[in-house]
Amino acid sequence: MPTRLRQTDQALALLYHARAATPFCSEDGELYASIPASLDSRHVLPLRSAAFRDWLIANFYGEYETAPSPDAIRAALRTLEARARYGETPARKLDLRLSFEGDPFTPTKIILDLANQSGEVLEISSQGWRIADNLNKSFRESATALSLPRPVQSDAPAGAALDQFAKLARLSEGDRARALTWIMTALRPTGPYPVLVVRGPAASGKSFFARALRTLIDPSAAPVRRLPARDRDLLRLAHQNWMLAFDQVQRVPARIAGALSALSSGDAYEIPQADYRDPLVFQIARPVILIAPSDEMQTAWAPPRSFSNRTLTIDLAAIAAPRPEAALWSEFEAMRPAWLAALGDAVGAALHRIRDIDLGNVARFPDCAAWAAAAAPALGLNERSIVDALTDPDAVWIGSDPLRDAVHGLLRSKPVWSGDAAALLDQLRAIAPFASLPATPKGLSQALAGVSGIRVEKNAGGTGALSIARTSRAAEQAATGDASLLLPTR
C-alpha cells in the first residue's frame, strides 16, 4: 500500500527529493534549477516550468507511489524559488544554444550546446575544438530544441567539407561566400547579425536551403514558421530560439520590419512575473532567415531603407531537375557531423586570428566582416571575398517587384537576352506564372525602362527587337552618384 503523508510532510518529502537539484538565479533574474542528467552532466529547467514540476513529482512518486497534493507542490516550489533568489548559489550566466568566455567581440572560447541526453557541449578555442560535459556551463533549452550530432573530423580541410554543403544547396561561388559568411556571423555570441533573405522562384530549393542552414547550428522541431503579425510574438520566438527562420515572406509590415531591424542588433524583451511587480528584461539579438518567393508578387513592394540595409540576400535559380527532398535530407544527415566539425575548425581559426584582423572601414557589418575574415582560411575564402559578400550592393534586399524579379530571373541564366517583346513576355510568364506582368508586348516594352539593374537597347530599325543586359547596383551607384544605395550599418 502507498504510504500516506500529511500535507506538511509531503512538502518536506518533496524538498528532500529536491536535494539533487541546485536552485539558482540567472544573471537576467530568472529562477532555475540544475538537475542531474547523468553522472557527469546536468539539465537546467525553469523552476516554474512543467518539466521541473514533473521531475519533482516523479521523484516523490518513486518512493511513495502516490501523488503529492497541489498545496504541497506549491509550498515546495515557493521554498525552492526563495532558495534560488536568496540562497548561497551565486547568479549564473545562462545562455541558449551558444555561449562564450571572455569579451563577446573577441571571445576566448565559443561553446555550442549539443542539447543531447548526455549533456555534452562543443567547446571551441583557438587551439581547436573538443567535446566536454556541461557541469561548468549552464544552458537553457527550448521545448522545441533538437540535439546536434557529435562532430566527426573529416580528412578533408574544413573549406573542402563545406564545399559539399554548397554543392548540395546548388550555390554559386558568390552565394557560397555569402552563405558561409552568414553562418560564421550566426556563430558569433553577439550582434549585429545580417538578416539573411533567401529568394528564388518555385522549385529553387530555397526552403530546403534555409532549413539546412538552421539545422546546422540550431536544429528545432519547428525549424521554419510563418512571420508573426505582432512584434511581441517575434521577440517571444527569439527568446525561445537561437536562430529564427520564416517562410513565405512576400512583404514585411513596417512594424515587423522595425522589430527585425532591432532584433538584428539587439532588442529589449520584457516577461511579466507572477507575484512580482517588475518584469524580467532581456537584451536579445538573433540571426534571422527570411524565405522570400520571387515569382508570386502581384504588386511592387519595397522595405524601409533602415531594414533593407540590414539584409544579406542569396538569390537561387530554379532547378531544372530537382532531386527528391528525402534524398537531399539523407545526404545532409550523413554529412552533418563532418560539417559541424568543419564549422568548429572555422570558429577556432576565427578565435586564433580575430585580434590580428584589420579590414579598415567596411560599409556594412564591420564586426561581422572581421569575425568571418578571421575564419576565411578555414572556409576556403579570402578576406576580400568576405568583405565583398557583405558590402556588395546587390546583396541588399530591395523588396519585390513582379516585372523586375522576372527579368532578373531570366538574366540569371544568361547575362544578355535578345529578341522581340512578345518572345520576352512569353519567357517571363514561364518564369513567373503567378506574377502580375504587363498584359501586352507593347506594355512590356514601355515598362522595361523603369526596371532597375538592367540596360535596355532597342533596334533602331523599328523591327521591335530589343536587347537587355543586367547591370549591378554598384554600377548604378557609380553612374548616378546615389550613395544611398549602400548605407553604412553597424
Long-range contacts of 445-452 (CB under 8 A, 24+ apart): 445/421, 447/403, 448/403, 448/407, 451/401, 451/403, 451/404, 451/407, 452/398, 452/404, 452/476
Residues 472/393, Cβ–Cβ less than 8 Å? yes
Rounded Cα distance between 378 and 159, Å, is: 6
**Residue 25, strand partner residues:** 31
Residues 378/349, Cβ–Cβ less than 8 Å? yes
Type of residue found at 63: E
Per-residue pLDDT of the chain (490 residues; tens, 9 = 90+): 355 677 678 889 999 988 999 999 988 788 999 988 777 778 888 898 899 999 999 999 888 888 899 999 999 999 999 999 898 888 888 889 999 999 999 999 999 999 988 889 999 999 999 999 887 788 888 888 999 999 999 888 888 899 999 999 999 999 999 999 999 999 999 989 999 999 988 888 999 999 999 999 999 999 999 999 998 899 889 989 999 999 999 889 999 999 999 999 887 777 776 666 667 677 889 999 999 987 666 567 788 888 989 999 998 988 888 899 999 999 999 999 999 999 999 999 999 999 999 998 998 999 999 999 999 999 999 999 999 999 988 888 888 777 887 887 788 777 888 888 888 888 888 877 777 788 888 888 888 888 877 888 887 655 568 888 887 654 444 444 444 444 433 3
pTM: 0.84
Rounded Cα distance between 362 and 365, Å, is: 7
Instruction: Kindly report the backbone phi and psi dihedral angles of residue 420, in degrees, each rounded to the nearest multiple of 5, phi listed first.
Output: -95, 170
Residues 183/209, Cβ–Cβ less than 8 Å? no
Rounded Cα distance between 461 and 203, Å, is: 40
Find the angle CA(297)-CA(302)-CA(305) to the nearest 5 degrees: 155
Type of residue found at 205: G
Question: Is residue 91 helix, strand or coil?
Answer: coil
Q: What is the pLDDT of residue 409?
A: 77
Q: What is the pLDDT of residue 214?
A: 96
Q: What is the pLDDT of residue 443?
A: 87
- Enter the C-alpha cell of residue 371: 569575425
- Enter the C-alpha cell of residue 391: 558590402
DSSP 228: P
Q: Any residues with CB less than 8 A from the CB of 233 and at least 6 apart, and which?
A: none
Q: What is the pLDDT of residue 433?
A: 75
Question: Is residue 144 helix, strand or coil?
Answer: coil
Percent of the chain that is helix, strand, coil (3-state, to 5):
45, 20, 35
Residues 454/470, Cβ–Cβ less than 8 Å? yes
> Which among 122, 124, 113 has a CA at the least distance from the CA of 147?
113
Cβ neighbours around 28 below 10 Å, total: 13
Rounded Cα distance between 57 and 142, Å, is: 21
- How buried is 121 (Cβ within 10 angstroms: 0-12 exposed, 13-18 middle, 19+ buried)? buried
Residues 341/152, Cβ–Cβ less than 8 Å? yes
Rounded Cα distance between 210 and 332, Å, is: 13
E strand spans, 134-190: 139-140
Residues 303/259, Cβ–Cβ less than 8 Å? no
**Residue 418, strand partner residues:** 467
E strand spans, 259-377: 267-271, 280-284, 288-293, 311-315
Q: Classify domain 158-395 by CATH number.
A: 3.40.50.300
Tell me if the bond preceding 201 is cis, omega within 30° of 0: no
Alpha helices in 414-467 (DSSP H): 421-431, 441-447
> Which among 202, 196, 359, 221 has a CA at the least distance from the CA of 296?
202
Residues 375/342, Cβ–Cβ less than 8 Å? no
DSSP 489: B
Residue written as grid cell 516523490 = 60
